[in-house]
Amino acid sequence: MHDIVADDRTAQNVLGTLRDALAPGGFLAVADAVSYAPQPEERRFSGLFTYLHSAFMSIHLPSEQEWLDKFATAGFARTRTVPIGLPGGRLFVASR
């Protein structure tokens, strides 16, 4: 999903379409990586993962806050972030 949300217009279109497809009270769950995760125990791996994506694949990994901003811009009322046990991995649960 980080490839899709790298472009703001594409992110808004895709996430907005997914939001519109949800039933009232529905939610969207997205598991992905965040750049330079803030927790000390995940920072090294997350930093390397971010660098590899940027330097060798020209992919921008959004920060946790950038992900939250993209869900909000797409019209989601609330988004929770849950660490998933992998350094830099997050589950975003966005409610309609």
CATH superfamily of the 2-19+27-95 domain: Vaccinia Virus protein VP39 (3.40.50.150)
Beta-ladder partners of 78: 95
Res. 85: pLDDT tops 90: no
Q: Report how far residue 20's alpha carbon sits from residue 55's, in angstroms, rounded to the nearest whole number.
A: 35
Q: Report how far residue 3's alpha carbon sits from residue 60's, in angstroms, rounded to the nearest whole number.
A: 8
Tens of pLDDT, residues 36-49 = 888 888 989 999 99
Give the start-to-end residue ranges of the domains of the chain: 2-19+27-95
Tens of pLDDT, residues 21-35 = 999 999 999 999 999
